[in-house]
Amino acid sequence: MHIVLLGTAAGGGFPQWNCWCPTCRTARTDPGEARPRTQSSAAVSADGARWFLLNASPDVREQLRMLPAPVPAGVRHVPVEGIVLTDAELDHTLGLALLREARHLQLWATDAVHRVIAHDSRILPVTRAFADVRVEELVPDRRTGLCYRDGTASGLRVTCIPVPGGPPRFASEERPGHTVGLIVEDERTGGSCAFVPGCGGLDDGLLRRLDAADLVLFDGTFWTDDELIGLGIGERTARQMDHLPVSGPGGSLAQLGKLAGRRRVYTHINNTNLMLLEHGPERAEVERAGLVVGADGMRFTL
């Protein structure tokens, strides 16, 4: 299985267009110290040519350039076979409308996510005005095979796992399954990747699921719980926004650092997070714990 980190920033990207916090300021003045990033998404493939997106960010057009694909014989070529969603947030779903030229799209989502993009954000009907979109429901803890657009099996299976997280602020109702993580498995190699870009907490059951994966791509949104409050640009803590902070007692770094022998990579990193600085003490702390701060374009093979 081939995995590409297409985007590793949280909503708004890095640097965020209207932000001059210390990290965004550094990204503008010294890109070598704070590498720019697009909004969070990943892609998986069994053959390195046909790809499934894990979320569809507003930066999807630029991100697709990272995907290796053969030179097409015809005038049009669609390397995206389908999209699997972890939630209905705008930074994970706006890209659906930007993929409308594909004419035929496959989408996997929980019932809760499906309802939000169909009735609240209306991203699904907008996309369907231009393309045929087939939606298959993801049921927690049930393996689902990912098929290519021609109906043949890809050899990849996905299982969604509920994680702490509420619905988007524009959702009209709260239902189970608004936020999930994904376990993607390759039937041929046995390799597995956990993709959890949004997560409000880690319990023993979720840690066991992550420990069983060969690669863990995990929520690195905020470094501290009061990050936005301290900068004077927000009123809610990280946990109140359903993101477990990286640092501190009970933070994700202390817990993921115990998953010995596994590749653990932070993604979905907010523009204010100090671990974005290449040579800062926060980056060094992450690396001492055996984890990696993800960057756009990182590739893995399992």
The domain of 258 spans 2-70+78-301
Mean pLDDT value across residues 258-263: 83
- The confidence band for 43, taking pLDDT boundaries of 50, 70 and 90, is very high
- The confidence band for 69, taking pLDDT boundaries of 50, 70 and 90, is confident
| pLDDT tens digits, one per residue of 163-198 | 999 999 999 999 999 999 999 999 999 999 999 999
Whether the bond into 197 is cis, omega within 30 of 0: no
- The confidence band for 250, taking pLDDT boundaries of 50, 70 and 90, is very high
- What is the phi/psi pair of residue 59, to 5°? -100, 20
Question: Cα 74–59–36 angle (5° rounding)?
Answer: 125
pLDDT of residue 119: 98
pLDDT of residue 260: 74
The CATH code of the domain that includes 232 is 3.60.15.10
Spatial contact of 34 and 27, defined as CB atoms under 8 Å apart = yes
pLDDT of residue 116: 98
Q: How many CA atoms lie within 13 A of 119 on its CB side?
A: 9
- The confidence band for 219, taking pLDDT boundaries of 50, 70 and 90, is very high
Q: What is the pTM of this model?
A: 0.97
The answer, yes or no, to whether residue 150 has pLDDT greater than 80, is: yes
pLDDT of residue 262: 78
Mean pLDDT value across residues 260-275: 93
**Percentage of the chain with pLDDT > 90?**
95
- Domain count for the chain, please give it: 1
pLDDT of residue 73: 81
Mean pLDDT value across residues 143-164: 97
d(CA 233, CA 93): 25
- What is the phi/psi pair of residue 116, to 5°? -65, -45
- The confidence band for 50, taking pLDDT boundaries of 50, 70 and 90, is very high
pLDDT of residue 71: 78
Mean pLDDT value across residues 101-107: 95
Print burial letters for 123-150: b (CB count within 10 Å at least 16), e (below 16): bbeebbeeeebebeebeeeeebebbbee
Mean pLDDT value across residues 268-294: 98
